[in-house]
Chains A and B, each alone.
Chain A
Amino acid sequence: AQTVTQSQPEMSVQEAETVTLSCTYDTSESDYYLFWYKQPPSRQMILVIRQEAYKQQNATENRFSVNFQKAAKSFSLKISDSQLGDAAMYFCAYSYVFGNEKLTFGTGTRLTIIP
């Protein structure tokens, strides 16, 4: 079974600084997707960024980028120029590519932005 581990329950960063959230996963598959979801206080789950395992290039979305290390099974999220609106729970998730594609989530990292 696939597992996703987020070892940082809480993180904090000064506004405008950069922060990196860690995620590791375990799978025997070679073809899969990895995701970072953001959950602000509103409780809505919002997709931040997505990475296909067959792509070597790291995904980027504006201030958000990932460091995908397939051999190490590591998938970290870097947030640059942190903003107050980035404060949220961040969940790392894994999905096998083929089939009904159930997502397996990590336990989350609560990110606090310090003004």
Chain B
Amino acid sequence: NAGVTQTPKFQVLKTGQSMTLQCAQDMNHNSMYWYRQDPGMGLRLIYYSASEGTTDKGEVPNGYNVSRLNKREFSLRLESAAPSQTSVYFCASLNPRTRPTSSTGELFFGEGSRLTVL
């Protein structure tokens, strides 16, 4: 039972290079999220996808793009990496339900990807 799987776990880039962080979940969840974690700032939402085929910006979307390839996969792309994007990135998934039976709201997280931009 893999849950949420992120790749790669570590990556070093030079300024201006591009890369894609991959995320896949095997829990048949509808919603998927990308967060970044920086010291003293907690986790901040970059983008999310409420369902296959839809994506929306979160709190800090600048410099990133996302693709919801199918229900399982949600990728995060840095087109031209900058040192300010040095961070730990977390993918997460959740299965919301409509009222009156609301979901638990519990996010299931991947193990995180540490990205360093030089």
Chain A to chain B contacts (Cβ below 8 Å), 21 pairs: A4-B42, A35-B106, A44-B109, A44-B112, A45-B92, A45-B107, A91-B43, A95-B105, A97-B105, A100-B31, A100-B48, A100-B56, A100-B96, A101-B103, A102-B33, A102-B45, A103-B43, A103-B45, A104-B45, A105-B43, A108-B42
The answer to whether A107 touches B31, judged by C-beta atoms less than 8 angstroms apart, is no
The answer to whether B42 touches A101, judged by C-beta atoms less than 8 angstroms apart, is no
In whole angstroms, how far apart are the Cα atoms of A4 and B107 in the complex? 17
Point out the residues of chain B lying under 8 angstroms from A50, CB to CB: 104-106
CB contact under 8 A between A101 and B43, given known A35-B105, A45-B109: no
For B, the interface residue count at a CB cutoff of 8 angstroms equals: 29
Interface class of chain A by DSSP: loop
In whole angstroms, how far apart are the Cα atoms of A108 and B42 in the complex? 6
Point out the residues of chain A lying under 8 angstroms from B111, CB to CB: 42-44
